[in-house]
Amino acid sequence: MKPSLDDIDNKILALLMDNARLPVTTIAKQVDIARTTVIARINALEKRGVIAGYGLKLNQEMFQPAVRAYVGLSVEARYAPSLMKFLQQLPEVETLCAVSGAIDYMLTLRCATTEVLDRLLDQIGALDGVRQTSTSIILSKRIDRGAL
């Protein structure tokens, strides 16, 4: 069941997704409501399960240099289960999503260098059932409201 959220809830959530440690007083000023209302709204969102939790998001670039890329895969359906098993074993795979449209799956890869990315793409492209790959290297993040 999809939760019903009003404009105020959506504004509060957007602010918290950008910075979960944002002070309630700052949220109240930006949304133009009382501080106590913000507290009540956040508590209600937590109780309803809209806010599932809070966490820490590390700056991965500080820990290891990385080249990140989006990779679209077109796959023959009968090979999909073995492909999923193979991709699940690769530590370079950050996300794997089934998508609609011209491609069947979208991967996010993180590799130490472009050379490692190149070898990995060759390896994936050579797998049984992979009809086509399409890769876009991520240059920078402009907005990041993704999972923690």
Q: What is the pLDDT of residues 71-126, one digit of tens each?
A: 999 999 999 999 999 999 999 999 999 999 999 999 999 998 999 999 999 999 99
Q: Which domains does the chain have, with CATH numbers?
A: 7-47 (1.10.10.10), 60-137 (3.30.70.920)
Global pTM reads 0.62
Please give, one letter per residue, the 3-state secondary structure of the chain: CCCCCCHHHHHHHHHHHHCCCCCHHHHHHHHCCCHHHHHHHHHHHHHCCCCCCCCCCCCHHHCCCCEEEEEEEEECHHHHHHHHHHHHCCCCEEEEEECCCCCCEEEEEEECCHHHHHHHHHHHHCCCCEEEEEEEECCCCCCCCCCC
